[in-house]
Amino acid sequence: MIHRSLREWSTLAISESGGEDAIPRWAADSLIATASASTLGGEDGERVLTANHRQMRAQQVVGVVAAPRVTLEILPKIDGLDLGGTRRRLIHMLARVFDIEVSSGNLADLEWQSRDVLEILIRLFCNQLFEAVRRGLPRLYVLEEADLNALRGRLNSHRQFTVLAAAPQRLACRYDNLSPDIPLNQIMAAAVSQLIGIARAPENQRRLTELSFAYAEVSRVPVAGLPWDRVILDRSNVSWGALLNLAKLFLGRRFQTTSSGPGRGYALLFEMNTLFEEYVGRMFQRALSGTDLSVRLQGPQDFALTTDAGARRFATRPDIVISRAGKPVLIVDTKWKRLKDISENAKHGVGQADVYQMMAYSRVYGCPNVMLLYPHHNDIGASEGIIGGHTITGGDEARLSVASISLFDLASVPDQARNLVAQMVRPA
Is residue 40 within 8 A of residue 48, CB to CB? The reply is yes
CA neighbor of 77 nearest in space, from 257, 276, 344: 276
**Model pLDDT for residues 385-399, shown as the tens digit of each residue:** 999 888 888 767 889
Between CA 402 and CA 371 the distance in angstroms is 6
What's the N-to-C CA distance of the chain in angstroms? 61
Between CA 405 and CA 116 the distance in angstroms is 26
Mean pLDDT of the chain: 87
Q: Cα–Cα distances in Å, from 414 out to 95, 298, 407?
A: 16, 19, 11
**Model pLDDT for residues 82-101, shown as the tens digit of each residue:** 999 999 999 999 999 988 87
What would the mean pLDDT of 48-73 be, rounded to a whole number? 89
Is residue 285 within 8 A of residue 298, CB to CB? The reply is no
Q: Cα–Cα distances in Å, from 237 out to 185, 233, 246?
A: 11, 6, 16
Between CA 44 and CA 46 the distance in angstroms is 5
Has residue 354 got a pLDDT over 60?
Answer: yes
Has residue 170 got a pLDDT over 70?
Answer: yes
Per-residue model confidence (pLDDT) at position 255: 37
What would the mean pLDDT of 326-351 be, rounded to a whole number? 84
Has residue 178 got a pLDDT over 70?
Answer: yes
Has residue 317 got a pLDDT over 90?
Answer: yes
Q: Which residue has the higher pLDDT, 232 or 190?
A: 190
pLDDT band, very low/low/confident/very high, at 411 (cuts 50, 70, 90): very high
Per-residue model confidence (pLDDT) at position 254: 42
Per-residue model confidence (pLDDT) at position 257: 47
**Model pLDDT for residues 113-165, shown as the tens digit of each residue:** 878 999 999 999 998 999 899 988 888 887 888 899 988 888 998 999 889 98
State how beta strands 22-24 and 11-15 pair: parallel
Per-residue model confidence (pLDDT) at position 57: 93
Per-residue model confidence (pLDDT) at position 345: 67
CA neighbor of 260 nearest in space, from 30, 38, 1, 4: 38
Between CA 7 and CA 225 the distance in angstroms is 36
pLDDT band, very low/low/confident/very high, at 18 (cuts 50, 70, 90): low
Which of the residue ranges 99-113, 126-140, 248-262, 280-294 would you say has the lowest mean pLDDT?
248-262
Has residue 335 got a pLDDT over 90?
Answer: yes
User: Taking the CA atoms of the chain, what radius of gyration do you get in angstroms?
Assistant: 27
pLDDT band, very low/low/confident/very high, at 45 (cuts 50, 70, 90): low
3-state DSSP of the chain: CEEEEEECCCEEEEECCCCCCEEEHHHHHHHHHHHHHCCCCCHHHCCCEEECCCEEEECCEEEEEEECCEEEEEECCCCCCCHHHHHHHHHHHHHHHCCCCCCHHHHCCCCCCCCCHHHHHHHHHHHHHHHHHHCCCCCEEEEEEEEECCCCCEECHHHHCCCCCCCCCCEEEEEEEEECCCHHHHHHHHHHHHHHCCCCCHHHHHHHHHHHHHCCCCCCCCHHHCCHHHCCCCCCCHHHHHHHHHHHHHCCCCCCCCCCCCCCCEEEEEEHHHHHHHHHHHHHHHHHCCCCEEEEECCCCEEEEECCCCCEEEEECCCEEEEECCEEEEEEEECCCCCCCCCCCCCCCCCHHHHHHHHHHHHHHCCCEEEEEEECCHHHCCCCEEEEEEECCCCCCCEEEEEEECCCCHHHHHHHHHHHHHHHCCCC
What would the mean pLDDT of 213-228 be, rounded to a whole number? 91
CA neighbor of 295 nearest in space, from 424, 426, 421, 428: 421
Per-residue model confidence (pLDDT) at position 299: 82
Has residue 258 got a pLDDT over 60?
Answer: no
pLDDT > 90 fraction of the chain, expressed in percent and rounded: 48
Per-residue model confidence (pLDDT) at position 256: 45
Which residues lie across from 7 on neighbouring strands? 75
pLDDT > 70 fraction of the chain, expressed in percent and rounded: 93
